[in-house]
Structure 1
Amino acid sequence: MHIYPQPSASQAIELLTACGLPTSDLKPEHFEHFLGCGGEAHLEGLVGLEIHRPDGLLRSLAVTETVRHQGCGKALVAGIEALARSQHLRTLYLLTDTAEAFFERLGYTRVARETVPLGIQQTEEFSSLCPDDAAVMKKELER
């Protein structure tokens, strides 16, 4: 699986939209901490990281139907976790309403919304874009 940094913003937004994920809060600077999967001319998968030291928000994991169940999602999560470690983040949080079991297999655990750090709670994804009944999950990163 070819994982690469900073996929094209236009391709990323196209993929996120096709997968039904929010894009209204994404600004060009967000894509500095995004990873792509597939060929750089044809984005097959995507994941992003918002940094809110000392924690991070894993966001926008999207994979096309054509590469699902081939390891792209798992490779993207491993890549974003490595990026988070390189940024000296200690914990990753995420919200999902479709992939809780996938993230559980990767070591994420469900937590109560009110236990999430304020910096993460204040993101648009957490506060307004994801539904209140979305699963909130976290993973402590090893150093």
Structure 2
Amino acid sequence: MNFYRDPPAATAKALLAAAGLPTTDLETEHFAHFIAVGSTHAPAALIGLQPYGDVALLRSLVVSPAARGTGYGNALVAEIEAYAQQLGVRELYLLTNTADAFFSRRGYRSLDRACVPDAIGQTAEFSSLCPATAVCMHKRIEAR
């Protein structure tokens, strides 16, 4: 698969918005920690990371409708986890409205939202963008 970091903000935001994922808090510099697959002009799928020392927010996993069933979702999660390890991240957190079963199969476990570290809880995604009904999930990874 043709993975690349730092997809163009406009095309990444368009893919995220088409899937109904939040984009209002994403600035161009955030995409330095995003990994995409497919064309740089029209990524087929992408995932993002917001690192805060040894913890990080995993966000914005999206696969375009035309690319579903290709394994991009699994591959991107593995790729972002490896990238997080390179950065020294030991714990990943995420919020999801629809993909809790997907992430459970990849070792993520539900966690009470009140138990996340302050750095994660203060992100726009946790504090205002995602509804209180979103499932909070966590995975411990080994830093490299």
What TM-score range do you get, normalising by the shorter chain? over 0.9
Q: Is the aligned partner of 1:41 residue 2:41?
A: yes
Which structure 2 residue ranges, 5 or more long, are not aligned? none
**Which string of whole-angstrom CA distances, capped at 9 and with x for unpartnered residues, describes residues 93-143 of structure 1?**
000001000001111000001111010000000100000010000110023
Asked if the contact 1:47–1:62 (Cα under 8 Å) also holds between the matched residues in 2, the reply is: yes
Distance in 2, matches of 1:28 and 1:38, equals: 19
Corresponding residue of 1:133: 133
Q: Runs of at least 4 residues of structure 1 off by over 3 A?
A: none
Distance in 1, matches of 2:20 and 2:72, equals: 18
Corresponding residue of 1:78: 78
Deviation at 1:37, TM superposition (A): 1.1
Distance in 2, matches of 1:57 and 1:34, equals: 12
Q: Percent of aligned pairs with the same residue?
A: 50
Corresponding residue of 1:10: 10
Asked if the contact 1:3–1:75 (Cα under 8 Å) also holds between the matched residues in 2, the reply is: no
Deviation at 1:79, TM superposition (A): 0.9
Instruction: Count matched residues.
Output: 143
Deviation at 1:39, TM superposition (A): 2.0
Distance in 2, matches of 1:108 and 1:3, equals: 23
TM-score, normalized by length of structure 2?
0.96
Corresponding residue of 2:98: 98
Computed over aligned residues only, the root mean square deviation of the Cα atoms, in angstroms, reads 0.8
TM-score, normalized by length of structure 1?
0.97
